[in-house]
């Protein structure tokens, strides 16, 4: 297997897509953290995943475990009403039973997950502790978990305790089956946990220690060792999943194509290196930011509907009254042929977003409007790039949000979301840093969105002249809190050599203004 470290931004992107598809919730947030075990926060619609490097096996095996654990957490979002803490026996047992319930519900929809579930069970069993390393009553709970989940236990138990474990496991499986058949939810399952606590003869508040794998992260089992464990799992799960081919499961052919795409994308990113595009310009580090906060779905969908009509030349109207359409009379007086004119925008545009301190008070609305603009440009298949500038530690930084060769997606949205508005408006310095990119790409339009006066107007005027000399149309949008202020800013910008300036007093008007510029 090829050894390569997949970048977290690539993993976050594919994980976000899969989680939203599996859970059928478009606002699921994915975070990768090495500080906590994989968990889901239902109230936040957030899934926190353990990174690949903390998992067992080779790179492909780690990815398969990562992907399957993501599927389980997506099913929790879809089917669970609550997730309790695993720190105490009651919550640990409820979550264990819920894992089985959501797995069986999820398999009815995602039947192709069967092989991956069995493969994941193999590594789950490998990672569980030997029972002799767990002390006190917690050993009983761990043995119940292993027997209930895998059908085997790792080690030996006193016969009296083992009988309790078998009885509790049989009862738990009966409850899970009944919950599925009668369409019961988490609350109903929770009511039956006390009976399992009683059968196991433990305290519901019994502390459950964190079970550490007996293997170090990164270590891989041999193929024969894996196959041996996989055969045990497959045999015990045969009643639920049916007869399978362990050798085929081990290969993971169905998932490898997806993994190969990730590897190829990773290589492309690595091969880019420090090109002329990135010199002097930084890409925001992918942090655990919630990009959904700057998604205004109502604005985005409204704009897409509007420009869908513009793109096709057809307009759909819903009115309370009107004339009934008589197709026969219409055909008598008109040629029965329609021409569907497909409009498109061939203009290449680079957009620069001012994130100086003056925008800070309206930063969220500003980002919502600019994100909606990017969504519409992507929808219309316009070739565009987005950059921004702000100040960090008294140093002006030009940020690359979306280069022209990258698709607009949740990763680029995260980049926009994490920029903090701060500092002055050193436009000339920003233009100077961007000059090599603009000289190389030669966009048709270079659009600057700003709400302030540049720090050095003369220097801006000189840079504007240089950029116009490359054949680039220089356009600026003056943003202001009201019409008077916005108009004043736009007029001042006009004196800096821009070929066109427009005033915007309502941030939500930004997308319409920009599309109007492109359409012209």
Q: Which of 63-72, 106-115, 178-187, 268-277 has the lowest mean pLDDT?
A: 268-277
Mean pLDDT of the chain: 84
> Which of 17-31, 175-189, 487-501 has maximum average pLDDT?
175-189
Average pLDDT over residues 77-81: 96
Cα gap 67→50, rounded to integer Å: 11
Phi-psi region of 394 (alpha: psi -120 to 50; beta: other; left: phi over 0): left
Give the pLDDT band (50/70/90) at residue 339: very low
Reported confidence tier of residue 165, pLDDT bands at 50, 70, 90:
very high
pLDDT at residue 334, rounded to an integer: 58
Q: Which of 448, 432, 442, 416 is nearest to 517 (CA)?
A: 448
Confidence of residue 269 (pLDDT cuts 50, 70, 90): low
Residue 273 neighbours by CB under 8 Å, 6+ apart:
none
Quickly state the pLDDT bin for 96 (edges 50, 70, 90): very high
Opening angle at CA 247, ends 246 and 249, nearest 5: 60
Across 80-94, 237-251, 394-408, which has the greatest mean pLDDT? Answer: 80-94
Check pLDDT > 70 for residue 315.
Answer: no
Dist. CA 501–CA 447, nearest whole Å: 9
Please check the confidence at residue 50 and state whether its pLDDT lies above 50.
Answer: yes
pLDDT at 318: 56
Contacts (Cβ under 8 Å, ≥6 apart) of 291: 29, 410, 413, 414, 416, 417
pLDDT at 183 over 80: yes
pLDDT in the model for residue 121: 94
User: Per the structure block, which two tokens stand in for 211?
Assistant: 């079970």
Check whether 275 has a pLDDT greater than 90.
no
Residue listed under structure tokens 């059908």: 151
* pLDDT recorded at residue 32: 86
Q: What is the arrangement of strands in the sheet containing 39-41, beginning at the earlier edge strand?
A: 29-32, 46-49, 39-41
Evaluate if residue 271 carries a pLDDT over 90.
no
How many Å apart are CA 440 and CA 82, to the nearest integer?
54
- Does the pLDDT at position 215 exceed 50? no
Strands (E), 275-320: none
Of 17-21, 175-179, 265-269, 331-335, minimum mean pLDDT range: 331-335
Span 349-408, pLDDT tens digits: 999 999 988 888 888 999 999 999 999 888 888 899 999 999 887 888 999 999 888 888
What is the percent of the chain with per-residue pLDDT over 70, rounded to a whole number?
85
pLDDT of residue 3: 39
397 has which bridge partners? Answer: 390
Per-residue pLDDT band at 20 (split at 50, 70, 90):
very high
Averaged pLDDT for residues 86-107: 95
Q: What band does 330 get if pLDDT is binned at 50, 70 and 90?
A: low
Q: 402-427 pLDDT, tens per residue?
A: 988 888 888 888 899 999 998 888 89
Report whether pLDDT(199) > 50: yes
More confident residue, 130 or 222: 130
Segment 496-509 mean pLDDT? 88
Ordered DSSP codes for 190-225: HHTHHHHHHHHT--TT-B------SSPTT----HHH
pLDDT average, residue stretch 94-108: 96
pLDDT grade for 276, boundaries at 50, 70 and 90: very low
Q: What does the alpha-carbon distance between residue 55 and residue 5 come to, in Å, rounded to a whole number?
A: 13
pLDDT at residue 341, as a whole number: 43
Question: In sequence order, what E strands does 1-69 have?
Answer: 29-32, 39-41, 46-49
How many separate helices (H) and strands (E) can be counted in the chain?
A: 20, 9
Please report the DSSP string for 477-519 in residue order.
Answer: EEE-SSHHHHHHHHHHHHTTT-SEEEEESSGGGHHHHHHHHHH
On whether the CB atoms of residues 12 and 411 are closer than 8 A, the answer is yes
**pLDDT at residue 274, rounded to an integer:** 38
**3-state SS, residue 42:** helix
Cα–chain-centroid distance for residue 157?
Answer: 44
What does the chain come to in residues?
520
Taking a C-beta distance cutoff of 8 angstroms, is the pair 416, 364 a contact? Answer: no
Which H/E stretch holds residue 445? strand 445-450
Return the pLDDT at 102: 96
pLDDT value at position 212? 44
Where are the alpha helices (H) located in 380-509, listed in sequence order?
A: 410-418, 427-441, 457-468, 483-494
Side by side, which strands form the sheet with 384-392?
A: 395-402, 384-392, 349-354, 445-450, 473-479, 500-504
Report the pLDDT value the prediction gives residue 316, as an integer from 0 to 100: 53
Answer whether residue 470 shows pLDDT above 60.
yes
Alpha helices of 80-218 — where are they, by DSSP H? 89-109, 114-127, 138-150, 159-181, 186-191, 193-200
Three-state secondary-structure class, residue 46: strand
Residue 446 has pLDDT above 70, yes or no: yes
> Sorting pLDDT into bands at 50, 70 and 90, what band is 273?
very low
With H, G, I as helix, E, B as strand and everything else as coil, classify residue 80.
Answer: coil
The predicted model gives 173-189 an average pLDDT of 96
Q: Of 268 and 504, which is predicted with more confidence?
A: 504
The share of the chain scoring above pLDDT 90, in percent, equals 42
Query: Is residue 218 over pLDDT 50?
Result: no
């Amino acid at each position: 297997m090829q050894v390569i470290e997949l970048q977290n931004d690539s993993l976050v992107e594919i994980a976000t897509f899969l989680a939203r598809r599996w859970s059928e919730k478009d606002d699921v947030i994915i975070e990768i953290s090495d500080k906590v075990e994989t968990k889901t926060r239902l109230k936040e619609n957030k899934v926190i995943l353990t990174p690949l490097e903390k998992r067992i096996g080779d790179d492909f095996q780690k990815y398969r475990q990562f992907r399957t654990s993501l599927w389980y957490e997506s099913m929790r979002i879809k089917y669970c009403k609550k997730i309790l803490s695993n720190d105490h026996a009651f919550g640990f047992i409820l979550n264990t039973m819920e894992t089985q319930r959501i797995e069986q519900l999820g398999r009815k929809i995602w039947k192709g997950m069967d092989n991956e579930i069995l493969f994941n069970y193999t590594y789950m069993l490998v990672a569980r502790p030997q029972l002799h390393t767990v002390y006190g009553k917690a050993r009983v709970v761990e043995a119940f978990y292993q027997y209930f989940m895998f059908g085997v236990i790792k080690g030996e138990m006193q016969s009296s305790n083992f009988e309790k474990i078998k009885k509790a496991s049989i009862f738990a499986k009966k409850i899970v089956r009944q919950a599925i058949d009668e369409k019961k939810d988490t609350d109903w399952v929770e009511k039956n946990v006390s009976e399992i606590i009683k059968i196991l003869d433990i305290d519901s508040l019994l502390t459950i220690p964190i079970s550490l794998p007996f293997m170090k992260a990164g270590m891989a089992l041999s193929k024969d060792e894996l196959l041996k464990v996989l055969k045990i799992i497959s045999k015990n799960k045969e009643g639920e999943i049916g007869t399978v081919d362990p050798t085929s499961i081990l290969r993971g052919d169905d998932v490898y194509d997806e993994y190969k795409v990730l590897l190829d994308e990773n290589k492309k990113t690595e091969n880019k290196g420090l090109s002329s595009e990135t010199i002097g310009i930084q890409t925001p580090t992918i942090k655990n930011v919630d990009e959904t906060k700057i998604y205004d779905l109502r604005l985005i969908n409204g704009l897409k509907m509007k420009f869908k009509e513009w793109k096709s030349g057809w307009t759909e109207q819903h009115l309370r009254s009107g004339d009934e359409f008589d197709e026969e009379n219409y055909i008598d007086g008109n040629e029965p042929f329609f021409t569907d004119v497909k409009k498109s925008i061939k203009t290449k545009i680079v957009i620069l977003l001012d994130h100086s301190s003056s925008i800070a008070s309206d930063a969220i609305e500003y980002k919502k409007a600019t994100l909606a603009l990017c969504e519409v440009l992507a929808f219309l298949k316009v070739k565009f790039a987005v950059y921004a500038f702000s100040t960090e530690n008294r140093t002006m930084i030009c940020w690359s949000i979306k280069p022209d060769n990258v698709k607009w997606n949740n990763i680029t949205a995260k980049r926009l979301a994490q920029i903090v508005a701060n500092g002055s408006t050193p436009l000339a310095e920003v233009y100077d840093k961007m000059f090599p990119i603009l000289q190389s790409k030669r966009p048709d339009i270079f659009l600057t969105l700003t709400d302030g006066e540049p720090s050095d107007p003369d220097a801006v005027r000189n840079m504007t002249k240089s950029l116009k000399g490359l054949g680039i149309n220089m356009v600026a949008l003056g943003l202001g809190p009201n019409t008077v202020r916005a108009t004043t800013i736009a007029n001042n910008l006009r004196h800096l050599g821009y070929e066109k300036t427009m005033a915007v007093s309502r941030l939500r008007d930004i997308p319409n203004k920009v599309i109007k510029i492109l359409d012209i």
